[in-house]
């Protein structure tokens, strides 16, 4: 898989750093055109991650692109076919 760019963030599961690759969901996905975040590797420190991925940006979940789900119907939105999504 080819990535547009990489980010490094503090691990959510303890000490260390996680490296993620970023790309865009393909047209065949429900999320087509939106950012896709893929876990690549974990390192004991941010410095170790930077040594392996020198072009990666250090970020956090506050600075990363978010996938928008606003195009999907909500629980109380009427959908074609005469049912609400949670009535199935």
Sheet holding 5-10, edge to edge: 35-43, 17-24, 5-10, 57-58
Per-residue model confidence (pLDDT) at position 68: 66
pLDDT for the residue numbered 83: 60
Report the distance separating Cα 81 and Cα 72, nearest Å: 16
Q: pTM to 2 decimals?
A: 0.71
CA distance 6 to 9: 10
Query: Which tokens hold the place of 31?
Result: 């999320």
Specify the pLDDT at position 31.
Answer: 78
Yes or no: say if 62 and 19 are a contact pair by the CB < 8 Å rule.
no
State which residues of the chain have pLDDT below 70: 67-88
Residue 53 is predicted with a pLDDT of: 96
Q: Structural domain boundaries of the chain? A: 5-87
Cα of 74 vs its chain's centroid, Å: 21
């Amino acid at each position: 898989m080819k990535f547009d760019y990489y980010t490094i963030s503090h691990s959510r599961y303890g000490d260390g750093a996680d490296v993620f690759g970023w790309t865009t969901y393909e047209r065949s996905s429900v999320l087509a055109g939106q950012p896709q975040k893929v876990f690549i590797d974990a390192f004991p420190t941010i410095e170790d991650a930077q040594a392996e991925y020198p072009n990666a940006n250090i970020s956090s979940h506050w600075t990363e692109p978010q996938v928008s789900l606003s195009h999907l119907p909500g629980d109380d939105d009427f959908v074609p076919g005469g049912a609400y999504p949670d009535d199935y």
